[in-house]
Structure 1
Amino acid sequence: MAKPRARDLGLPLPGISGPHNAITDVPGVLVGYRTLNGVAANGRRIQTGVTAILPRGREAEPQPVWAGFHALNGNGEMTGTHWIEHGGYFVGPLCITNSHSVGIVHHAATRWTIDHYAAAWQREHLWAMPVVAETYDGVINDINGQHVSEADALAALDAAAGGPIAEGNVGGGNGMICYGYKGGTGSASRRIEIDGRGYTLGALVQANHGQRAWLKVCGVAVGERLEDELPQGLERERGSIIVILATDAPLLPHQLKRLAQRAGLGIAQGGTPGGNNSGDIFLAFSVANPRPLPQVSVIRQSLDYLSDECCDALYLAAVQATDEAVLNAMLAAEDAPMQKPEGICRAIDGERLRTLVTG
């Protein structure tokens, strides 16, 4: 049985969520996982995986997704961001894994793109530049064993689906730690209205950041009151967090970059200042304005987009959804054995947290 999410516990979270309170509330967005658990030949524990996001689902023809990127603290990796900064879009899947598996997952995502859009790749001289991001899971997982394979990444892509999604110890978030508790994958969404039209914004996080003493929930500083549960060796941050924001609101790349920046305000709601060892890296994309690739499109282009003056509701939604997604990742997580330092990384006690926040 799934553990209660943040809203299920009655935490006073602001905003109106979508039907699944997940990034998959954004039309067309699919999420899939490959979760690896086992024991390596060296006796170390394997607890890692891959998370895959298909921004436009499994459409038959490749189409750009308008995007913007921001790094609050760049101690990490997200591939494809040079072209997102210059071109304002990416094509194909987006994957998240551990720090030492970026290469093999990128290789697999490239293969998936070539195979899925085979007709287009045969007609044109097209290139594949998937987005692959990472956080470090070496405290729990045998990260140096590089156990994620091409087949694992392809399986995550093949498993991508809509609707409610699993959280916690799943996909790339399987071996992650957040504020000294077991972290992982989390998601949330917000419904907003602009000029009489409804839009959805969804967030998906791979939460692996923060120190226990920093933790705040719904504005309440709970971390210092929970330090009795902190295992020795987790006093400092070894983490990172990846935040992916998706929306169906029509936005230009410069607006999406500004939207991605608001994920930093979202994680700050939980207390983190963006620690030195934390790769706090964010990407926002819009599924609006579908069209053929520029290489095969008409010369003159036009886009529907919102005025900058209307974006405050989206910015607030990004802050709220990011904060809630981190909470959902922590609340869904399960205890995991640590290898270095040795011990158990405990999942946060939802009922104790609720009592501290609501009294």
Structure 2
Amino acid sequence: MKPRARDLGLPFPGTPGPFNAITDVPGVRVGFTTLTDPARKMRTGVTAILPRPDSGSPRPVWAGFAALNGNGEMTGTHWVNDAGYFLGPVLITNTHGIGACHHGATEWMIRTYDSHFRDEHAWAMPIVAETYDGTLNDINALHVKPEHAIAALDAAATGPVAEGSVGGGNGMIAYDFKGGTGTASRRVEIGGATYTVAALVQANYGRRPWFTVLGVPVGREMPDGTIRDQETGSIIVILATDAPLSDAILRGLARRAGLGIARSGSPGGNSSGDIFLAFSVADDMPAPPHAGPVITRHSLNWDELDPLYQAAVEAVDESVINAIVQGEDVACVKPEGKTCHGIDTARLMQVMAKYGRL
């Protein structure tokens, strides 16, 4: 694995958690299925996020949804907007893998929450999001199958999280460099308590001239090797925290992901699906049918939220750069004969030094 952005010496602000990953939020696990076979023009996969270590009966995960530009898909968000929670996993894959992953996640939920589905009139509504990988993967071959979603969910674990060309990020491009999966976290103190805010992104967006790192116009300094004349990608951002937050605040936290992706230069292009989900693992309680007629939840005061919002923006920005610095050269399947290059990190650091950012 190549060095992450901080390991290279890029001076990102803020204090990360021990893994500098979404798994710094207690209980959150991440798993991948990565599918690579150049002979079949296959470079794709599935990323799975499990917010809670629950089984038997699922427990609500409080959540909020936002979209900067809606040219993409994230299932289950109508219910998140209405109810302020979801049950079960979150998956990210390619655009044509949504149905397969939804099928696989539903099968996994029926198995994992067996009593919930056996004894009740329960329904499964997993969250599945996508970005388009048709430049580096034969997306129309429908390589992603339900069993790949199940395998990613079964592989979910705590600890360090792989980045770059893993899981759903395997075939993705960001700012005309090889992109993919990235993650980062921040720890903040509010009212004498320490909370973690973390992001995981599937970065597949942006044009090279837009690309900036910590304010440095890297894209203009490194213009060679582009493969796109206009933006044709998207980005999914999943924000997780252990801070207790209301539904309205979680929607506001999700909106801050847009500021995070803008830090590296994107204006939110028309062809980009910039779609965000924020969830909190605070206030663990049974699913509504078992929670009684009145539930009690907690939330930070609105006037105390600025450190949390700043942490989210910083974590998203660093996640994007982490995805990009892991990139390696990959042959395109459409158009054939071109190569999507991984960023030259030595050259990147020369550019950063030129602008006095090291």
Normalising by structure 2, what TM-score? 0.97
Could you list the per-position Cα deviations for residues 66-85 of structure 1 after superposition, in whole angstroms to 9, with x for gaps in the alignment? Answer: 00000000000000000000
**Match 1:358 to one of 344, 353, 358:** 353
Matched, 1:298 2:297: no
Counterparts of 1:212 and 1:332, CA distance in 2:
17
Which residue does 1:146 correspond to in 2?
142
Tell me the amino acid that sits aligned with residue 272 of structure 1: S
- Which residue of 95, 101, 105 maps to 2:101? 105
Question: Partner letter of residue 300 of structure 1?
Answer: V
For structure 2, list consecutive stretches of 5 or more residues without a partner in the other structure. none
Paired residues of 1:67 and 1:90 also in contact (CA < 8 A): yes
Corresponding residue number in structure 1 for 2:37: 38
In 2, Cα distance between the equivalents of 1:21 and 1:91? 25
1:223 is the counterpart of 2:223? no
Maintained 8 Å contact 2:93/2:167: yes
- 8 Å contact kept, 2:57–2:114: no
Partner Cα separation in structure 2 for residue 334 and residue 349 of structure 1: 9
Question: Taking every aligned residue pair, what percent have the same amino acid on both sides?
Answer: 59
Matched, 1:345 2:307: no
CA contact (8 A) 2:75 2:129 kept: yes
Counterpart CA distance in 1 for 2:117 and 2:291 is: 15
Pair 1:263-2:257 in alignment: yes
1:1-359 matches, cutoff 5 A: 2-39=1-38, 44-230=40-226, 233-342=227-336, 343-359=338-354
Distance in 2 separating the partners of 1:222 and 1:167: 21
CA apart distance, 1:61 = 2.7
Q: TM-score, normalised by structure 1?
A: 0.97
Distance 1:143 1:220 in 2: 34
Asked if structure 2 preserves the Cα contact closer than 8 Å seen for 1:9 and 1:351, the reply is: no
Q: What is the CA distance between 1:262 and its match in structure 2?
A: 0.2
**1:180·1:235 contact (CA, 8 Å) conserved in 2?**
no
Find the aligned partners of 1:304 and 1:252 in 2 and give their Cα distance: 7
CA contact (8 A) 2:55 2:112 kept: no
For 2:106, what is the secondary structure of its paired residue? Answer: helix
Is the CA contact 1:11–1:358 (under 8 Å) kept in the aligned structure 2? Answer: no
- The code of the aligned residue for 2:31 comes to G
Alpha-carbon separation, structure 2, partners of 1:308 and 1:9: 36
| Aligned 8 A contact 2:56 2:114 in 1 | no
Cα pair 1:212 1:235 within 8 Å, conserved: no
- By how many angstroms is 1:229 displaced? 3.0
Conserved? CA contact 1:48–1:171, under 8 Å: yes
Q: Deviations over 1:132-182 (max 9, x none)?
A: 000000000000000111111100000000000110000000000000000
Q: Which amino acid aligns with 1:347?
A: G
Superposition misfits of 4+ residues, deviation over 4 angstroms: none
1:301 Cα deviation from its structure 2 partner: 1.2
Distance 2:104 2:153 in 1: 9
Shift of 1:349: 1.2
Measure how far apart 1:358 and its partner are. 2.7
Separation (CA, whole Å) in 2 of partners of 1:60 and 1:5? 37
3-state SS of the aligned residue for 2:310? Answer: helix
**Distance in 2 (alpha carbons) for counterparts of 1:131 and 1:355:** 41
Query: Is this contact kept in 2: 1:44–1:339, CA < 8 A?
Result: no
The C-alpha deviation readout for 1:225-274, integer Å capped at 9, x for no partner, is: 111232xx412111000000000000011100000000000000000000
Q: Find the residue that maps to 1:348 and give its secondary structure.
A: coil
Q: Which amino acid aligns with 1:336?
A: V
Distance apart, 1:58 and its partner CA:
4.1
1:225/1:279 CA distance change after superposition, 3 Å: same
| Secondary structure of the corresponding residue to residue 5 of structure 2 | coil
